[in-house]
Structure formats: C-alpha cells, structure tokens
Amino acid sequence: MTLYFDLKPNQIKADPELIGRVPYALATYYLALPLGRENGQVSVVMSNPNNERAVDVLGGLLEAEIIPVCSSAESISAAIERLYPTEIPHQPLILAWANSTSEAAAITDLLSQFGRRLNLPVTTLTASQLKLDIVLRRAHSGHYQLLGLQAPTNPIALNHLIQSSPIPLLLARGHYTRLQRILVVLRGYASDEHTLQLVAPLIQANQATATLLLLAESSYQPWSDEAANQHLKRCLHQFEVETRTVYLKFRQGEWVDQVAAEVAQGDYDLIVIAAEAHGQFVIEVLHQLDGQQLHANRPILIIKPPLFTA
C-alpha cells in the first residue's frame, strides 16, 4: 500500500548521499526524490508511485528496495529545485546523424522543424565523420537534447538503439517532413509533461493538431481521480493555443493495442511516445505497428529518461 502525504516543499528533506545518486534530470523526469535509507530500503517520494518501471530504475540507482511515498507533483518539483545544487545551463544541441550525405538531407529537413521551434541549432553528422556508437556515448554528456536518424530496418539494431540512447530519438522512416497531425501517447506519468514540453512548441508554431491518447485499462483508470485530473491540467498547460487544436482520446484494452488501434484509425504524421526506463514498452508498440503495417514511412519521436546524465 502506498502512503500519500500532502507535503509542503520545505517539509521534504532528503539524504544528500541519496540525492547524489539520482541525477537532477532523472528526478525531474520521474518527479521523484529519495528521502532516506533504513534496513536496506529507501523511501522515495513520487508523484506517481504506480510507475513500476520508474521504481525499478530508482531501485537500481539506489541499490535498494524502494518504498514509494506519494505526494503532489507541485510539492516534489519545488523540493527538487530547492535540494539540488544550481548549475549553469549549457546550450543544448539537436543532432542529425545519417549513414550518407543523401540520407542526411532528409534527417536535417525533418529536424530543422524542431530546431526552429525550440530555437536550437541542428548539427548534422554522417557515419564517415562519427560512428553511431560514439554519438550515443557523447549524448551521455547531456549536451544534446534530441538525436534524429533513419530508423534501422533490422529489428535487433532498432531495439538496441532505443534501449541505449539516453536522449530523445526522432526516428525517420523515409523522407517525410509534414508534421500537421501529431499523436502524443500519455500514460499518466511525470514523463508526460516532459513529452509535451518538447512537442508543444512544434504543434503551436506549425498550427498543427495534437491528439493526446490517454492510455487506460478497464481494471484501473489512471485518469479518474483528482491527482490524475491535476496531472492532465498541467499537461494541457503546455499549450498556449485554443483548445480546438488539442484533442483528448480514450481507448480501452492493453496499452500497446490501444496505440495501434488509434494509429490505424488516424492519419498521423508523427507519433510521440515516452519511455519509462530503457524503452521496452516503446519497442513493443513499434513492433505492433510494423507487424500491422501501420504508420509506414512516417517518423516517430521517442522520449527517453536521462538515465546516464549527471
């Protein structure tokens, strides 16, 4: 049973040694703070303790069994800003990587839309300049906000790429740059807000429409209580546009099937989906889409938790 506390930000105190084990970027991605260690267990205050993958990741970082304690997202976010040391931010980059110069043109065209809307430069590299494994290692430094490349056609290579990247991935599949109808998959976790922070400027500037698919299961409705309602309000607050450009959609059944059913029904230019750990859920979704020949030759944006950034 998870305990819920209506904590004020200054009531949340944490062990500095434990704080040092959970990077700031990851704490904000999960909205989670380690409080203290006792008898091989660590209490962690979280905005959504039902996020089992987040609990697993935190358990690995802290080398302990996690005892979740639930509090509001606002309190945890304020506590994170208070407890973590202030760092001078660096200018992030958007990186386009391609196997060849001809492939690089398609990737750069797609990424330039993000670069213009996020006011970030796009750096383009080819395999002759830097191998992909080196690019991924450099991405761990935290200097890149987004990596775009052609999706590998080999399923094993695709799985490895999704699992190993510590930053968001924009996977192109052919030369497709129209981004007017965007499907954003939300699961009721803190990562939803990070996802929308990245794509909302693109949607607004392109005057695109966004469908927010709120995943739910018949056995558990993560959007039905007051905390979930507040979470959804924070998500929608990312949009400074009229609500007619943003639509909410609910489906029932297994989460992977819900995504596939929505993609089959809609003519989406871009699918946006967040991972909670290394990306197993995302991989399952992509395999389902490919198996049903859905969303062919159109890009997919995968948001990743910053597991390796310090």
- Give the pLDDT of residue 279: 93
Neighbours of 133 (CB within 10 A): 10
4-18, 52-66, 238-252, 268-282: segment of lowest average pLDDT: 4-18
- Give the pLDDT of residue 309: 47
Instruction: Say if CB 38 and CB 69 are below 8 A apart.
Output: no
Neighbours of 82 (CB within 10 A): 11
Share of the chain above pLDDT 90, in %: 48
pLDDT exceeds 70 at position 142: no
d(CA 202, CA 234): 18
d(CA 238, CA 223): 18
Per-residue pLDDT band for 4 (boundaries 50, 70, 90) equals low
Amino acid identity, residue 145? Q
54-58, 156-160, 220-224: segment of lowest average pLDDT: 220-224
Model pLDDT for residues 82-124, shown as the tens digit of each residue = 888 776 556 678 999 999 888 898 899 999 999 988 888 898 9
Model pLDDT for residues 217-252, shown as the tens digit of each residue = 554 555 667 777 888 888 888 886 555 688 999 888
Q: Give CB contacts under 8 A, 24+ apart, made by 223-230.
A: 223/188, 223/250, 227/47, 227/72, 228/188, 230/72, 230/73
Q: Walk across the sheet containing 41-46 and list its strands.
A: 3-4, 65-70, 41-46, 32-38
pLDDT exceeds 50 at position 1: no
- Give the pLDDT of residue 86: 74
User: Of all helices (H) and strands (E), which one includes residue 144?
Assistant: strand 144-150
Query: What tokens were used for 51?
Result: 């996020």
Per-residue pLDDT band for 186 (boundaries 50, 70, 90) equals very high
Question: Under DSSP, is residue 259 helix (H, G, I), strand (E, B) or coil?
Answer: helix
Instruction: Say if CB 264 and CB 294 are below 8 A apart.
Output: yes
Q: Summarize the confidence of residues 248-271 as an average pLDDT.
A: 93
What does pLDDT average to over the chain?
Answer: 86
d(CA 103, CA 126): 9
Tell me the β-bridge partners of 68: 44
- Give the pLDDT of residue 182: 96
Least Cα distance to 124 among 141, 105, 140 occurs for 105
- Give the pLDDT of residue 157: 94
Read off φ and ψ for residue 201, nearest 5 degrees: -60, -35
Those residues whose C-beta lies under 8 Å from the C-beta of residue 8, and which sit 6 or more positions away, are 75
Task: Spell out the SS3 assignment of 20-89.
Answer: HHCCHHHHHHHCEEEEEEECCEEEEEECCCCCHHHHHHHHHHHCCEEEEEECCHHHHHHHHHHHCCCCCC
Structural domains for the chain: 3-83 (3.30.300.160), 93-162 (3.40.50), 171-303 (3.40.50.620)
d(CA 181, CA 204): 12
Query: What tokens were used for 68?
Result: 């979740």
Q: Summarize the confidence of residues 67-77 as an average pLDDT.
A: 88
Residue keyed to tokens 């929308």: 196
Query: What tokens were used for 214?
Result: 């709120």
pLDDT exceeds 90 at position 64: yes
> Length of the chain, please?
310
Residue keyed to tokens 């990312």: 238
Q: Summarize the confidence of residues 67-75 as an average pLDDT.
A: 88
pLDDT exceeds 70 at position 215: yes
d(CA 120, CA 116): 7
Position with higher pLDDT, 15 vs 87: 15
pLDDT exceeds 70 at position 71: yes
- Give the pLDDT of residue 271: 97
154-163, 166-175, 189-198, 299-308: segment of lowest average pLDDT: 299-308
- Give the pLDDT of residue 135: 86
CA distances from 248 to 129, 179, 215, 234 (A): 43, 18, 11, 14
- Give the pLDDT of residue 155: 92
Q: Summarize the confidence of residues 55-61 as an average pLDDT.
A: 94
